[in-house]
Amino acid sequence: MTVVNNHSIELLAPAGCYPSLQAAIAAGADSVYFGLAQLNMRARARRSFQGGDLPGIMERLHRADRKGFLTLNTLVYDHDLRLMNALLDEAVKEGVDAVIVADVAAVMAARERNLEVHISTQLSVSNYPAVVFFSQWADRIVLARELTLGAIERIHKNIVENDLRGPSGRLMELEAFAHGAQCVAVSGRCGMSVYTSNASANRGACEQNCRKEYTITDRETGKEL
């Protein structure tokens, strides 16, 4: 869900394929966020949108009077820049309402195209001064998932009291996860999967080692713990 500047609630749902997109619309979501094959945190999903799906996604959303947010929220390396820029160009062409990003290169590239920027939870924004910093480029912050309702309330109160606004001129908006798996790492920034399987959680390829069951054996005594 998203706490917006007039204290109302915007319900935001994820979608990774057309059936889930349609389900989000039918269930009453105000907006939907989605990735396109790569450079998003659900890149390993078995059923996922591809680059050519963007026109159809946005057509369905706007026809239903819903907003669509494109996620480009992974780490971005030099070899990713061409794809990143191509996706952003396509986002402009197809009328994407905002992009959710976690890399400074993506932030700058989106702003150069006058795309609305939302800062991903991957950047672990957890205090008001950090919101002030990102307000130079972004209109919305997806807060660290570890924050309590009280902490979110205090940040929102500071935004209102200080009339903090983003590039659009709107009061800064806060987004908070209301449902879903809670990662053992801070907002999902974990190195376990890349260490064990060369599958980076910060590149959308987490193998979710933390959710598996393990038997721990003391190698000196052979005793299982």
Q: What is the per-residue pLDDT for 1?
A: 59
Q: What is the per-residue pLDDT for 3?
A: 56
Strands of the sheet with 98-101, listed across from one edge? 9-10, 2-3, 173-175, 140-142, 117-119, 98-101, 67-72, 31-34, 12-14
pTM score > 0.75 for this model? yes
Residue with tokens 């009339």: 163
Q: What is the per-residue pLDDT for 65?
A: 97
- Distance CA(218)–CA(64), nearest Å, equals 58
Q: What is the per-residue pLDDT for 7?
A: 64
- Distance CA(198)–CA(94), nearest Å, equals 34
- Distance CA(156)–CA(74), nearest Å, equals 26
- Distance CA(9)–CA(81), nearest Å, equals 35
Strand partners, 212: none
Q: What is the per-residue pLDDT for 39?
A: 75
198: left (phi over 0), alpha (psi -120 to 50) or beta: left
Low-confidence ranges of the chain (pLDDT < 50): none
Torsion angles phi and psi, residue 217, rounded to 5: -120, 130
DSSP code, position 27: T
